[in-house]
Amino acid sequence: MSRYKEQLIIEFLSSRGWEFIREGSLFNYFSPPELLNLPVDFEIEIPKYSKGKSGFDYYINNLIKELSSILFFDTKSDDLSILFSKDDSILKYRIFDAETLDGTIPFQKHLESLEGFKKVLSQAVTFEITKQPIFGAAKFEVDSYLNRCRALQTEKGSYVTKLSIPNGEIYSTVSVLDANGINTKLFDVFEFIEDEIFNTKTQIEINENYIQDISEFLNYELFHSIKDLYSKPQINNIELQLSSVKQFRKVQTTKVQSRIPYFNRYLREIKNLLLELVSLEATGFIKRLSSTSPLHSSNNEVLIVAEIANTQETIKVILDSEEYIEAIEAHKHEWAVRIKGKARQGKTQLSIKELELFEILRK
């Protein structure tokens, strides 16, 4: 059985501007895009795969060597071997700060950048699945996506991290994921952040109209995870690349650290407005009951621990007497509770200021 897949090779060439010119009995022939500045009669031939014939992989290995010498991007033969053999994308991020010019990176900075990128991928999955601007939840989908990611051999040149990430359909326990849609959305958001945060020279007024205008890109947790990717490891210059048989994308951001204070203000204003517009929905468990006189009070405080947007959060809720008595039972039997309402961000926890739903999920 062949390692390479003829259809993936043809998709790759078509997405890079190569044109199909004719079909022979053994080969399909393609001409290059003009931007490669190759001779007018230049063409490459792709053998037709046949189970009964040998030599297909040998021919494609030679084709990969030829393509890697003439392409402006996707030039690594290792990358082409992956793209031609399975429906995955290759994601690279290159840190080219002063301390990485020799191809090494401080260990702690490396760990923080990896953890930051894992968080970015998690939030990209959540955003694409839920379409919510804040408080999205997609734990099973996130786990299914991340389980399909693999670290690849590191490249030379400043400091490059390279990952193989899924590109086709992924079947989780609850739904089917379009990995290509997730990857495309991630780079749409990277480009939006590059333009809106790092390249803009005008003051942005954040209001409901602005929220509506950027809804295609807006996910607070994804924005915040991108900011953390830059700020926690103190990355100042970064280049991101996405390569698949369907597309090639590149985003390069420089002088990041000087814009982090503005990024923080932007995120704070975005979140404050979203908290006014979007209700928090969460399912979790009661951590603490604080009322001393629930039967005679309508101000009974309960702390609930729940996973929100792939992060464990503590939520303070005020219940009336009847709800509080139900909360006691839920705490006693370790039953989950579902809440919904407008939230307020405190220093260490969220508070529900307008409770819309309090429901016990009895086992």
Q: Would residue 1 count as lying in a domain? A: no
Tell me the angle at which helices 220-231 and 179-193 cross, rounded to the nearest 10 degrees.
Answer: 70
Whether residue 237 sits in one domain with residue 167: yes
Q: pLDDT value at position 156?
A: 66
Based on the structure, what is the number of domains in the chain?
Answer: 3
Question: Alpha carbon of 163 to those of 129, 148, 151, 336: distances in Å?
Answer: 22, 10, 5, 37
Cβ neighbours of residue 131 under 8 Å, at least 6 residues apart?
none
Whether the per-residue pLDDT at 10 is higher than 90: the answer is yes
Q: Which of 236, 252, 275 is the last residue of a domain?
A: 275
* 329 and 195 share one domain: no
Q: What is the mean pLDDT of residues 321-332?
A: 93
Is 235 a domain residue?
Answer: yes
State the pLDDT at residue 157: 63
Residue at 37 is within a domain: yes
Select from 36, 69, 85 the last residue of a domain.
85
Percent of the chain with pLDDT over 70: 98
Angle between helices 179-193 and 107-130 (to 10 degrees): 110
In a domain, 200, yes or no: yes
What is the pLDDT, as a whole number, of residue 52?
64
Please check whether residues 62 and 148 belong to one and the same domain: no
270 and 149 within one domain? yes
Tell me the two tokens of residue 306. 């729940």
Q: What would the two tokens of residue 337 be?
A: 């509770």
User: Residue 102 has what pLDDT?
Assistant: 85
Residues 218 and 122 in one domain: yes
Give the C-alpha separation, 79 to 356, whole Å.
51
If you average pLDDT over residues 56-72, what whole number do you get? 92
Asked if the structure places residue 339 within a domain, the reply is yes
CATH number of residue 350's parent domain:
2.40.50.140
b vs e for 257-270, b when ≥16 Cβ sit within 10 Å of the residue's Cβ?
A: eebeeebeebbeeb
Domain assignment of residue 49, yes or no: yes
Domain boundary among 38, 66, 85: 85
Residues 103 and 160 in one domain: yes
Q: Are residues 266 and 294 in the same domain?
A: no
Claim: this prediction has a pTM higher than 0.95: no
Residues 207 and 268 in one domain: yes
Indicate if 308 and 326 belong to the same structural domain: yes
Please indicate, yes or no, whether residues 250 and 113 belong to a single structural domain of this protein: yes
Kindly state whether residues 75 and 120 are assigned to the same domain: no
Give the chain's mean pLDDT: 93
Among candidates 303, 248, 305, 263, which has minimal Cα distance to 282? 305
pLDDT digits (tens, 9 = 90+) for 96-118: 998 888 888 999 999 999 999 99
- Mean pLDDT within 182-196: 98
Query: Structural domain of residue 334, as residue ranges?
Result: 278-360
* 258 in any annotated domain: yes
| Same domain? 116 vs 212 | yes
In a domain? residue 297? yes
